């Protein structure tokens, strides 16, 4: 079987984290012995001439076109150029794995009509969620449904995203929920860590986009909890567009100097694993998520979780794995954090880790191959 990924989001030379979840899906399939390739476009205004980069990364053939920023016509021309290169070098795939609808979807449909290549759709986009609300416009909606009607399967990364897509009026006969993938090393039960601690440690990992992640509210929760007790700390891992404002709020409350918050900056996946292993509870207070792979990673490390009902939270969290708290309700978050400090020993790390095995490379890889096989029939 030959699988070709068609995606607007993918790691590239300017940003190694962009679309990392797509690369992991591709690698999960490649780990099952399937031939997998990816074509993607990166647009940058400073690029003066087109360049196609072609390399093999962990069993996946990645072909990326670097080109000057342009509109939809330029996008489609770029996809055509990529396809001509791919077709000449590597031949026809058996199935196209489309990530995200519209422009790339038009091209997937073109391949289906001209080469009789079936395609499936994997959707990660948060715009369908009512809390985001970016799925709008007659043309986008018409085009999205047209593309879906010709897809062999539609694969949202969570049931919450699937329900949001349905509420947006999108229809299909074959919905298949396919979660994001967790790197295998997160399941390693080696809890030795260079990161020491002397009190209960909460941890939050995100891209610090306050509109979605609500990181400012996490700082507020730490401040409110500190008025009741100081036998804890919150480690905030990552960076992003709102890290400055988050740190400013923390500085205003002097939380770092009090030893109640620390910011680590951007970390490698292996460093994130080390921080998770050295922590007692994971906290996610997002306003919306399509999946939240950080919840999967925290569970793979055996951590109990406090989360709002976003992404996969309601599929993963029950009385044995943590707390669900209402979005934007800081009082509820503070209460759940205090309860966790007092009662964290009731959570069985091994049972939490076992529950997270459904997000492994092996499980997701097998699930996708079954979907592709049905699409090819």
Query: Based on the domain organization, do 242 and 93 belong to the same domain?
Result: no
Please, which residues bridge with residue 51 across strands?
A: 66
Express each pLDDT in 204-215 by its tens digit.
Answer: 999 999 999 999
CB within 8 Å of 225: residues ≥ 6 apart: 232, 334, 337, 338
Express each pLDDT in 30-64 by its tens digit.
Answer: 999 999 999 999 988 788 888 999 999 999 999 99
Query: Based on the domain organization, do 113 and 229 belong to the same domain?
Result: no
Q: What is the three-class DSSP state of 68?
A: coil
Query: Based on the domain organization, do 222 and 320 belong to the same domain?
Result: yes
Distance CA 103, CA 125 (A): 14
CATH of the domain at 133: 3.40.50.2000
Q: How open is the CA angle 98-100-106, to the nearest 5 degrees?
A: 65
Query: Based on the domain organization, do 28 and 153 belong to the same domain?
Result: yes
Query: Based on the domain organization, do 173 and 214 belong to the same domain?
Result: no
What secondary structure does DSSP assign to 224-263, as a single string?
A: HHHTT--SEEEEEE---TTHHHHHHHHHHTTTTTTTSEEE
Q: Which domain does 52 fall in, by range?
A: 2-181+360-376
Q: Residues 173-187: what's their mean pLDDT?
A: 95
Q: Is residue 14 pLDDT above 90, yes or no?
A: no
Query: Based on the domain organization, do 154 and 234 belong to the same domain?
Result: no
Query: Based on the domain organization, do 47 and 58 belong to the same domain?
Result: yes
Q: How confident is the model at residue 195 (pLDDT cuts 50, 70, 90)?
A: low
Q: In whole numbers, what is the pLDDT of the chain averaged over residues?
A: 94
Note whether 327 and 308 are within 8 A (CB). yes
Q: How confident is the model at residue 16 (pLDDT cuts 50, 70, 90)?
A: confident
CB within 8 Å of 161: residues ≥ 6 apart: 123, 124, 128, 129, 290, 291, 311
Query: Based on the domain organization, do 268 and 347 belong to the same domain?
Result: yes
Distance CA 236, CA 242 (A): 13
Q: How confident is the model at residue 196 (pLDDT cuts 50, 70, 90)?
A: low
Query: Based on the domain organization, do 59 and 147 belong to the same domain?
Result: yes
Q: What is the pTM of this model?
A: 0.89
Q: Is residue 190 pLDDT above 80, yes or no?
A: no
Structural domains of the chain, count: 2
Please, which residues bridge with residue 202 across strands?
A: 234, 281
Query: Based on the domain organization, do 220 and 160 belong to the same domain?
Result: no
Q: Is residue 192 pLDDT above 90, yes or no?
A: no
Express each pLDDT in 198-257 by its tens digit.
Answer: 899 999 999 999 999 999 999 999 999 999 999 999 999 999 999 999 999 999 999 999
pLDDT at 220 (0 to 100): 98
Q: Which residue has the higher pLDDT, 300 or 45?
A: 300
Q: Residues 114-132: what's their mean pLDDT?
A: 95
Query: Based on the domain organization, do 189 and 126 belong to the same domain?
Result: no
pLDDT at 306 (0 to 100): 98
Query: Based on the domain organization, do 165 and 63 belong to the same domain?
Result: yes
The per-type count for the chain, helices as H runs and strands as E runs, is 14, 13
């Amino acid at each position: 079987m030959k699988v070709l990924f068609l995606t607007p989001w993918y790691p590239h030379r300017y940003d190694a984290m962009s679309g990392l979840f797509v690369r992991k899906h591709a690698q999960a399939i490649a780990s099952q012995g399937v031939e997998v390739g990816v074509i993607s476009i990166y647009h940058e205004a400073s690029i003066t001439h087109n360049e196609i980069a072609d390399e093999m990364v962990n069993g996946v053939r990645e072909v990326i076109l670097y080109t000057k920023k342009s509109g939809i016509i330029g996008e489609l021309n770029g996809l055509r150029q990529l396809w001509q290169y791919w077709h000449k070098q590597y031949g026809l795939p058996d199935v196209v794995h489309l990530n995200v609808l519209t422009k790339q979807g038009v091209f997937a449909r073109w391949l289906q009509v001209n080469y009789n290549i079936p395609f499936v759709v994997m959707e990660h986009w948060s715009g369908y969620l009512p809390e985001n609300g970016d799925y709008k416009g007659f043309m986008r909606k018409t085009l999205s449904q047209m593309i879906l009607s010709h897809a062999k399967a539609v694969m949202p990364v969570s049931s919450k995203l699937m329900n949001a897509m349905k509420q947006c009026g999108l229809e299909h006969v074959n919905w298949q929920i396919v979660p994001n993938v967790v790197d295998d090393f997160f399941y390693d039960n080696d809890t030795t860590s260079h990161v020491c601690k002397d009190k209960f440690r909460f941890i939050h990992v995100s891209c610090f986009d306050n509109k979605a992640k609500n990181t400012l509210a996490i700082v507020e929760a730490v401040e409110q909890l500190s008025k009741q007790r100081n036998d804890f700390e919150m480690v905030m891992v990552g960076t992003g567009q709102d890290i400055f404002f988050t740190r400013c709020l923390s500085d205003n409350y002097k939380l770092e100097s009090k030893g109640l918050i620390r910011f680590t900056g951007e970390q490698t996946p292996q460093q994130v694993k080390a921080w998770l292993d050295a922590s007692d509870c994971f906290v996610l207070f997002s306003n919306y998520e399509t999946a939240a792979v950080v919840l999967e990673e925290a569970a793979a490390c055996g951590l109990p979780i406090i989360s709002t009902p976003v992404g996969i939270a309601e599929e993963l969290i029950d009385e044995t794995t943590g707390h669900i708290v209402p979005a934007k309700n800081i009082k509820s978050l503070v209460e759940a954090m205090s309860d966790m400090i007092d009662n964290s020993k009731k959570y069985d790390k091994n049972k939490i880790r076992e529950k997270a095995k459904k997000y492994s490379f092996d499980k997701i890889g097998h699930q996708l191959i079954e979907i592709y096989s049905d699409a090819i029939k």
